[in-house]
Structure 1
């Protein structure tokens, strides 16, 4: 890590510096979580402590209290093995922390004789939850559908030609191609563990439209072209994902700006982890995660299967023959909060929320 440009994480509009370390903890269900990047212990605020943006009330007996919702999935991390994490937090902050019993939902409640102790305990629990969150597989993503009639037709032609001319290349078969109905641009990914979090993300999408998207587009459309293919690793003979390149038809930067500012907005809300300075504008065409996918499998079964080791494919011949393949044009009209491993009645991903762009 460059000490002059440290890695940072935004949590609820607060910026923390990440200090690498290498250790692990075991939670109550026996699962181990590596603590090498995002943990309550190795995140520190690089600026002066800000004013709190959450409520702390005074109880009848003069103590301080804060109550806040956390998805029940994270309760085990807050408690720790045999209650060790919870006890340590209580000792160090001079507070009492009440966590709902296993299997139950509800708020975590922190009480203490000092406001600063309650505040510190709350912030540290926020960090525990957020560090666990960013180590999970994402459940949702912000998408721009790229599944217009022309795009789908040309994509199916591309698929047919690849299977005909590159059938002898290692690892290439029909199962690793994206469904034409699901072609899309991914702007960023989210981990949403319960209904409350999904509603929060849906509200953020509407707010993003009002404050970011509408002022930027000013009722203009997003006419896009998809021309050419690319991969993102160093060896074309060992590829896991092949992408289509996406451009604005009028050569403007408005799609890039819209994508970057949308990610920045969701990151500032603590709903997304920003991975790159700029969003990579691409559409997944082939992905080894799709290999031998069973369309009848449940979302949970699909998720478990895709955690298994992947078999790459040799894309050398595809790149040679289809480097500048023209997939056509499409005017994007919607932005979706899409559910991973899902399928709606029209073949696209199920939308937890969606907005019109123009």
Structure 2
């Protein structure tokens, strides 16, 4: 099926197919993949999307690639880079590991340089998707009133449901990090973080202020729900987040933020709409108290390690639990695995409603 229906990757308005190559397995080495433009995509034709400079040595094209992704272009023992150079008849210069800079492609033929650039872009995009996320857009829900109600919820659940399978203190979110996630991002250098910061400010100017009216959003955190279909085997239990006035302002802002970041290439779209929720219990916390809400790339790694819990009594006793009312005044570009002086995630940037 991988041959008949290869995975398609969209980059810069073009669609490429990913050809999966099975090779002899090497212990502790990642499986390599090769990428080719699909028929009619014009990978070897002149393309205005790339800046191609003509010089005494032929043609030149430079591309910014975060240093953590260099290894995927180099390949095992330099094999991927050598193959790219041979097949496109180009010379590819890559900065030293850990040094941010440009990858430079030089060749005698313009089409060869364009082909090499296209294939590097596809490699970068594919392997970027495999990186664990580094940042996420969030609303902080760790205000004192919410923390107090959450701790009361935790105390009551442990008091009344601790004998149910899998329920323990380790499942509960850190109250200082209660939040609502809009979407996750893989930002691999300072330039990408700066780009995300600038995009947040642009979103504020373009639509956030108009929707919010320059005022904080008053929301209620209430009622609990679970992610999977079987309440006897839960992995994630969450509280719902909704506008107190019943409007769709929060949903509209989060959806448009997600769409704008997806369009920019900084975020992958996993759902049609942002789910307005705050995780209160998660089986990932059982093994790692610092675990965040995982995206699809990282969740699979831990899936088999999860020990689900029986949440039927929790739903019966606390389905309509009220965590409180809070005003949301900012969207944060939060750093994963971090904490500021308040205990919430450290912030790389923010968008304020004012």
Shorter-chain TM-score range? 0.7 to 0.9
User: 1:252-295 deviations in whole A, cap 9, x for unaligned?
Assistant: 12211211111111111111111111111110111122225467
Residue 187 (structure 1) shift: 0.7
Report the 3-state secondary structure (helix = DSSP H, G, I; strand = E; otherwise coil) of the residue aligned with 2:258.
Answer: helix
Q: Which runs of 5+ in 1 are unaligned?
A: 296-302
Write the mapping of 1:216-231 to structure 2, written as runs, cut at 5 A. Answer: 216-231=211-226
Q: 1:47 to 1:255 in 2, by over 3 A?
A: farther
Q: 1:161 to 1:267 in 2, by over 3 A?
A: same
Distance of 2:85 and 2:247 partners within structure 1: 54
Corresponding position of 1:129 = 124
Corresponding position of 2:13 = 14
Q: 1:20 to 1:333 in 2, by over 3 A?
A: farther
Report the 3-state secondary structure (helix = DSSP H, G, I; strand = E; otherwise coil) of the residue aligned with 1:76.
Answer: helix
Corresponding position of 1:140 = 135
Work out the number of aligned pairs and report it: 338
Residue 316 (structure 1) shift: 1.3
Q: 1:212 to 1:110 in 2, by over 3 A?
A: farther
Corresponding position of 2:188 = 193
- CA-atom RMSD, angstroms? 2.9
Corresponding position of 1:298 = none
Corresponding position of 2:352 = 356
CA contact (8 A) 2:222 2:240 kept: yes
1:323 aligns with 2:319: yes
Corresponding position of 1:311 = 307
Corresponding position of 1:299 = none
Distance of 2:113 and 2:211 partners within structure 1: 41
User: 1:133-175 deviations in whole A, cap 9, x for unaligned?
Assistant: 1112111111011122322221111111111111101221222
Distance of 1:149 and 1:119 partners within structure 2: 56
Q: 1:186 to 1:47 in 2, by over 3 A?
A: farther
Q: Which runs of 5+ in 2 are unaligned?
A: 291-297
Distance of 1:122 and 1:26 partners within structure 2: 28
Q: 1:206 to 1:265 in 2, by over 3 A?
A: same
Write the mapping of 1:1-358 to structure 2, written as runs, cut at 5 A. Answer: 9-11=9-11, 13-16=12-15, 23=22, 30-33=28-31, 40-41=35-36, 44=38, 51-59=47-55, 61=56, 63-291=58-286, 293=288, 307=302, 309-358=305-354
Q: 1:110 to 1:178 in 2, by over 3 A?
A: same
Corresponding position of 2:295 = none
